[in-house]
Amino acid sequence: MFKYVLKRLLYFVPTFIVISLITFMLGQMAPGDPVELKLKGGMGGSANGQSSEKMAGEKAYMELSEKLGKNLPAFYFSITSAAYPDTLYKIPRQNERKNLDRLISMYGNWNNVSDYYKNAKLLEQKLFQFSNTNLDEASYEKLKALRDNNSELFINYDKVKIGESLKTIQAAAIHTTTIKTDSTHTKTIQPFIFALPEVNNLVASYTKMNNEINTSNNYVPAFHWFGLNNQYHRWLFGDVPWFGKNDNPSKVSKGFFRGDFGNSILDNRPVASILIEAVKLTLLINFFEFFFIYIIAIPLGVSLAVKKGTSYDRIVTTLNFMLYSLPAFWIATMCIIFFTNPYYGEALNLFPDHGIGKTGADFGFWEKAVDRAYHLILPMFCMLLGAFAFISRMMRGSMLNVIRQDYIRTAFAKGLEPRKVFWKHAFRNSLIPIITMFASFLPAMISGAVIIEYIFTIPAMGRISYESVVARNFPVLFTILMFAAILTMLGNLLADILYGFVDPRISLTKKA
């Protein structure tokens, strides 16, 4: 037994690595820029903003990007084509990085693509040095057109669209304008120039990029090694020393293995604190749910199998089928309508329709416990019905398969009491399907019941998971996914061990 458990635990290591890789890749492919999401769209200023606003936004973006480790390579190494550089990850904004990726694929020459990108950035910086306050309406519109079309260059890779933007930029760079010198006088400048050298350099770099296409580089493989300083390693192991003092305060991540799951995008709270509060409530609900399910459903299933074909069996089996067929959300809706609504009379207004009751330090333990139990009666009832019916039906079917076996008939032929035959010989072997299903309950312990928790506004794991998906709160969502995967592995191991206990014919070790 010990060797088997140790062997399975060793298998967990590569399995966990694969799961972590899949989870990490999902995080990398998830839509949206996590830095922008965390800044809630407040980075960078608007296209019409002043230079100070733009620079402040850029600084905030870069600082948060570095704090989240987004300025690091994604993995220990990368296998790309010779057209790609080993520093593309240093481009901070995700949409710009993706656009450069497409341009590299189209032109196959990173040096020219890089020059084009740098000149577009230089023009952007130059344009934001012009103040909006001393321009007339025509000049303001020209400057706005310059800024808007220059911004389009960072997200467009289509030659036609880039060409149109560059033509607009060239046309708007030189024009006639009037500048207000005071409230009554204006001064006309003919012509007025907006960043003409930068515009010319940008157009020249784009022309060079178009003339020197070398797509053959896309078919030459290239290997880049980045070492341990990458996002995946930082996510799992952190960038803070495991032992000794942290001499670099900028290194703030301890990694998944040390309980640092990052911060929520919504409110910047540590993911660990969010999950601890929700897990406590989910474990409380599931503990009582599983207790009542197994303490009632399993004996009921055995009794149905023993009394197969009787009126009792037909009636209870039909009720179980009906209960299992009812959707949980419909049951919850009906319970709220009829048992929390004074419209049908105060006699039926028995339970609260949302929340978990009293919280905080102002209330005593027993006062909170009683109130919480009162609030959770209806949600737990809705969760219990379907699972109760399913497990009792499964136990009935499993028991029927066992009592038809030859050794059960032999036990009866020996004159053993029916009670002893059913509960000592048949019951243990019929538990194998139930144990298999029990293995799936461990991840359910932290995944929660999404629909029920949402309907009754219970801040447990199901609701947290749903809100994380809707809000694209990936640090919370992927942490839940990782723990669900770990508990799935542990559940399978526990099921294998229980198999050996309930059925001696199942051996966990090979015998000579």
- Write down the residue that tokens 């948060």 correspond to: 64
- Helix, strand and coil content of the chain, in percent to the nearest 5, comes to 65, 5, 30
Question: What pLDDT is attached to residue 212?
Answer: 92
Does residue 214 fall inside a structural domain?
yes
**Residues 104-148 pLDDT 10s:** 999 999 999 999 999 999 998 888 877 665 667 777 888 888 889
Cα(329)–Cα(477) distance, rounded to whole angstroms?
A: 23
Q: Are residues 317 and 444 in the same domain?
A: yes
Contact yes or no for 91/100 (Cβ under 8 A): yes
Question: What pLDDT is attached to residue 157?
Answer: 92
482: domain CATH number is 1.10.3720.10
Contact yes or no for 339/348 (Cβ under 8 A): yes
Among candidate residues 219, 236, 254, the one where a domain is terminated: 219
Considering its fold, how many domains does the chain have in total? Answer: 2
Q: Are residues 327 and 189 in the same domain?
A: no
| Per-residue CA distances from 389 to 154, 332, 383, 437 (Å) | 58, 16, 11, 14
Q: Are residues 290 and 437 in the same domain?
A: yes
Residue with the bigger pLDDT between 117 and 427: it is 117
Q: Are residues 389 and 319 in the same domain?
A: yes
Q: Is the pLDDT of residue 468 over 80?
A: yes
Does residue 43 fall inside a structural domain?
no
Does residue 96 fall inside a structural domain?
no
Count of Cβ atoms closer than 10 Å to residue 267 Cβ: 8
Q: Are residues 198 and 296 in the same domain?
A: no
Residue with the bigger pLDDT between 481 and 252: it is 481
**244 pLDDT tier (thresholds 50, 70, 90):** low
Q: Are residues 378 and 455 in the same domain?
A: yes
Q: Are residues 489 and 401 in the same domain?
A: yes
Among candidate residues 204, 219, 234, the one where a domain is terminated: 219
Range from 133-137, 374-378, 462-466 carrying the lowest mean pLDDT = 133-137
**Single-letter code of the amino acid located at 448:** G
Does residue 489 fall inside a structural domain?
yes
DSSP state, residue 76:
S
Cα(478)–Cα(177) distance, rounded to whole angstroms?
A: 55
Mean pLDDT, the chain, whole residue set: 81
Q: Are residues 287 and 153 in the same domain?
A: no
Question: What pLDDT is attached to residue 44?
Answer: 44
Does residue 92 fall inside a structural domain?
no
Contact yes or no for 412/306 (Cβ under 8 A): no
Q: Are residues 351 and 483 in the same domain?
A: yes
Does residue 246 fall inside a structural domain?
no
Question: What pLDDT is attached to residue 165?
Answer: 93
Among candidate residues 219, 247, 282, the one where a domain is terminated: 219
Q: Is the pLDDT of residue 271 over 70?
A: yes
Nearest-CA neighbor of 36 among 70, 80, 86? 70
Does residue 241 fall inside a structural domain?
no
**Residues 162-171 pLDDT 10s:** 999 999 998 8
Q: Are residues 279 and 392 in the same domain?
A: yes
Q: Are residues 394 and 278 in the same domain?
A: yes
Residue with the bigger pLDDT between 366 and 74: it is 74
**Residues 385-421 pLDDT 10s:** 878 888 888 888 888 888 888 888 888 888 888 888 8
**Residues 319-366 pLDDT 10s:** 888 888 888 888 888 888 888 877 766 667 777 777 777 666 667 777
Question: What pLDDT is attached to residue 250?
Answer: 57
Does residue 31 fall inside a structural domain?
no
Count of Cβ atoms closer than 10 Å to residue 301 Cβ: 25
The whole domain housing 167 covers 107-219
Q: Are residues 453 and 354 in the same domain?
A: yes
